[in-house]
Structure 1
């Protein structure tokens, strides 16, 4: 297997994932170019968009253009609020019939096989649009995605920050983890079963994500990202998330030994 110089790991996080695009903007300006990527959900989407040649600002424009909450996208299916096939239409516009292995950069896309309850890294032969859609299929929001005869949901269920996937594949791992810990919530916030169930999922995902931090040589963990929603719709707030990523990377970069990247 080929050994790379720099790897980049991008966590899930919905529209908060635009932090990743802001980080990529800063890395580009510093002429730091990752050669291998590992991503879950929004991280998988942004890794793939970047790998096909989209600039960070074009990625921002893509997020602005995807109106998932259009009334026509709501699903009558019992297993998801939104029809994942509608999301696939957006993905097909940028990825076409490309397969994961067609990308000029090596990208590892994580999902969860809900039949076997095991994590999945899609093979180079998998259609890129299907792999990304599966990785982004958050339970209860998107219906699960059938890929090559198996049913998949969001990779964040089991590994929202897949740094271990490229451990040993590169000399230096940069990680952008949007999980900054969970804020305190009083008992009255858990009056109904769905609220309690969601909190349990949050705790599980947060703990699993934190365990991956140790695989990163440079961890970028934007503390202010919790003020934003995973379903941000405002262009102004999407811009702010992008800028948060840029400014966090800039601030943390100043703390590094400048010789690390030559």
Structure 2
């Protein structure tokens, strides 16, 4: 009989990542503690911070961090700054130096590499821009945590790619926004998958660069999520709890002023789920050993799309 391994999997979500903090508070308050944390982008930063102190106290400190973060800590400048960077051919609309400085300033003492995290397993998901493939940081314990987090959160066009050991990396959402497969491949037997969901609105005609880009990203993430959930549900030996956090979808990406409300909403949503949990059930009759090669082909095709 395989050893039990409880994992929390946290999606990307940008400034809405505060929703995950409330959900984590509820889990810890109910005595549900992970042995593995997996995250993408904002979810990676939440996962990493909790991994350094996987207790309710650690989650409360993460909440305090979200309450103090400001726009300038992540997105310095204004619309004129963005326009200038765009017109002068910069790699992104914002530099990443402020975000790097913020992460460094709030990294707990003595935590620099994955090997410094001893109480839980931590995995951070990014996308290798050069190959188009998923990159899972944490398999090599000597990897600097800062490099992993900067790579996982390098979302185009907002931030430039992050360079590490000769490769360029971008936000993990390009290949695995809710990286259930990472947890499954590393032995998780029960998973709480916390998904900061984007808009699912269907409009007859979409106009404007921002709206078109947003809807294109939503379509890509929706297909990706469906495959991840199908794969997880097909595993009869794994219990998967899927918690969808949908609030604050219309919040501008630079707005960090509603963290307190989002934390409370995340807690409410998780409490509601825990009151009446409904783990995923397999939607298909095909066995896991048949589906696994198909998922690998789909991941390979996703990589080709990223490279193109």
TM-score (norm 2): 0.74
CA contact (8 A) 2:75 2:98 kept: no
What per-residue deviation string (whole Å, max 9, x for no partner) do you get for residues 224-251 of structure 1?
Answer: 34244443321xx211111111001101
**Cα distance change, pair 245–28 in 1 and its aligned pair in 2 (3 A):** same
By how many angstroms is 1:195 displaced?
4.1
CA contact (8 A) 2:9 2:194 kept: yes
* Structure 1 portions without partners, runs of 5+: 258-262
| Structure 1 residue 159 corresponds to structure 2 residue 173 | no
State the match for 1:10 in structure 2: 10
Taking the aligned partners of 1:176 and 1:136, their CA distance within structure 2 comes to 17
Taking the aligned partners of 2:4 and 2:254, their CA distance within structure 1 comes to 34
What per-residue deviation string (whole Å, max 9, x for no partner) do you get for residues 142-172 of structure 1?
Answer: 1111112211010001110001111161221
CA contact (8 A) 1:179 1:210 kept: no
Taking the aligned partners of 2:201 and 2:41, their CA distance within structure 1 comes to 22
Taking the aligned partners of 2:127 and 2:26, their CA distance within structure 1 comes to 31
State the match for 1:103 in structure 2: 117
Taking the aligned partners of 1:58 and 1:229, their CA distance within structure 2 comes to 25
TM-score (norm 1): 0.87
| Structure 1 residue 213 corresponds to structure 2 residue 236 | no
| Structure 1 residue 62 corresponds to structure 2 residue 62 | no
State the match for 2:22 in structure 1: 22
The CA RMSD over aligned residues, in Å, is 2.4
CA contact (8 A) 1:172 1:217 kept: yes
Q: Which has the higher strand share?
A: 1
State the match for 1:199 in structure 2: 215
Match of 1:184 among 193, 202, 221: 202
State the match for 1:31 in structure 2: 31
What per-residue deviation string (whole Å, max 9, x for no partner) do you get for residues 52-94 of structure 1?
Answer: 127223212223333223339x684611112113211111123
Taking the aligned partners of 1:140 and 1:110, their CA distance within structure 2 comes to 18
| Structure 1 residue 91 corresponds to structure 2 residue 103 | yes
| Structure 1 residue 250 corresponds to structure 2 residue 268 | no
Taking the aligned partners of 1:89 and 1:3, their CA distance within structure 2 comes to 39
Of the structure 1 ranges 207-216 and 34-43, higher mean CA displacement relative to structure 2 is found in 207-216
| The structure with more radius of gyration | 2
* Structure 2 portions without partners, runs of 5+: 233-238, 279-308
Match of 2:256 among 222, 233, 258: 233
By how many angstroms is 1:38 displaced?
1.0
Match of 2:141 among 124, 144, 159: 124
CA contact (8 A) 1:7 1:172 kept: yes
Taking the aligned partners of 2:227 and 2:248, their CA distance within structure 1 comes to 19
Query: How many matched pairs?
Result: 251
Of the structure 1 ranges 164-173 and 211-220, higher mean CA displacement relative to structure 2 is found in 211-220
CA contact (8 A) 1:178 1:225 kept: no
**Cα distance change, pair 224–71 in 1 and its aligned pair in 2 (3 A):** closer
